[in-house]
Amino acid sequence: MDEQHGSEDFRSQVQRLVAEGKLTPEEAAGLLEDHAPTPPDLGKSTPATLPGAALPGHFGPSPGPDPARDLTLRVSGYSLTVLLDPALAAPTLSASEEGQLTLSHAPDGWHVARRQSPEKNLNFGSLRAILTVPFTPNFVHASVEGGNLTLPDLSGDLSAEVSGGNLKLQDAHALHATVNGGNLNGGNMSGPAYATVNGGNLTLTGSVALTAGVNGGNLRWAGVLGSGDHRVEVNAGNATLHLGAGSSVTLNAELTMGSFRADFPTQRSGSFLTTYHTGQIGGGDAHLHCRVTAGGLKVVTA
């Protein structure tokens, strides 16, 4: 299936979605004009209450694959917004230019891709599209290379690779992400977050488990940790971790030629080159292990 509308129909559809309350005026402006997503403000988030998490640090298994609701989205040199409309009988794809994108169904779910590489397209970055689905997406596999992708709430996991683009996500069960020179902004995860940041930026406003590696990039994470082991490794990058109300954490951090800051009591030991920092929040049930080499680590509770 190809995209179903030309540029005039695309503009009309965006205006209709605004009138129906399915798009905000700001989101519409981002579709009709070239507008990159704005990173969320961690200070304004409320990670203490996460969907599906009865107790801090406890979460259920990921839902199983569902070919009727799983999505594979390949965004290269264009902007794609995924919206929910239960009134539809099947997913539809609308684009500002005809003949550029395809929508197809396969045994592993619905696929959106570009017909040709953006290098061969004279209108690089000007193509914008809306994928409207009649269901809450389950698993989403997304790759973003020099484009923009905006996703709604997911009932399953997001597996994403961002290389020189922007991905904006609402809520999901879990996140598996690699960011290479791009930006990923996520909402609340009712399960774990696994992230690798290589020369890019990842902002996540809530999860109940964290495993992350930062190599020359920036991680901003917020969540409630109440059990289990969690690890963050930073190499020539920066990580800011916001532990929400209800967290019960024992912190152990090792820094080699790095910087450390916390807004709760910690103890420092070690030499000038390598230092060790320990601290506790609440009962200390969860264990947060951090290793920093020539980078920065900030752990805050407010």
The pLDDT tens digits of the residues spanning 98-149 come to 999 999 999 999 999 999 765 554 455 689 999 999 999 999 999 999 999 9
Q: How far apart are CA 38 and CA 88, in angstroms?
A: 30
Q: In this structure, what token pair is assigned to residue 50?
A: 């996460």
Q: How far apart are CA 149 and CA 57, in angstroms?
A: 29
Mean pLDDT of the chain: 86
HSE at residue 148, side-chain half, CA atoms within 13 A, is 20
How many other CB atoms are found less than 10 A from the CB of residue 300?
Answer: 15
Q: Tell me how many degrees the CA angle 106-167-222 measures, rounded to the nearest 5.
A: 120
How many other CB atoms are found less than 10 A from the CB of residue 56?
Answer: 25
| Core vs surface per residue 164-195: b (16+ CB within 10 A) or e | bbbbbbebbbbbbbbbbbbbbbbbbbbbbbbb
Which regions in the chain score pLDDT beneath 50? 4-7, 34-56, 121-122
Q: Are 131 and 91 in contact (CB under 8 A)?
A: yes
- pLDDT of res. 9: 72
Q: Are 25 and 31 in contact (CB under 8 A)?
A: no
Q: How far apart are CA 30 and CA 257, in angstroms?
A: 41
In sequence order, what are the residues at sequence separation of 6 or more whose Cβ sits closer than 8 angstroms to the Cβ of residue 70?
A: 108, 109, 110, 137, 138, 139, 140, 141, 156
Q: Would you give the end-to-end CA distance of the chain in angstroms?
A: 49
Q: Tell me how many degrees the CA angle 260-200-70 measures, rounded to the nearest 5.
A: 120
Q: How far apart are CA 87 and CA 101, in angstroms?
A: 23
Q: How far apart are CA 236 and CA 215, in angstroms?
A: 6
| Core vs surface per residue 128-144: b (16+ CB within 10 A) or e | bbbbbbebebbbbbbbb
Considering just the CA atoms, what is the radius of gyration of the chain in Å? 20
- pLDDT of res. 222: 97
Q: How far apart are CA 206 and CA 50, in angstroms?
A: 7
Q: Are 188 and 50 in contact (CB under 8 A)?
A: yes
- pLDDT of res. 116: 75
- pLDDT of res. 117: 62
SS3 27: helix
Helix (H) or strand (E) holding 185: strand 183-188
Q: How far apart are CA 288 and CA 278, in angstroms?
A: 10
- pLDDT of res. 6: 46
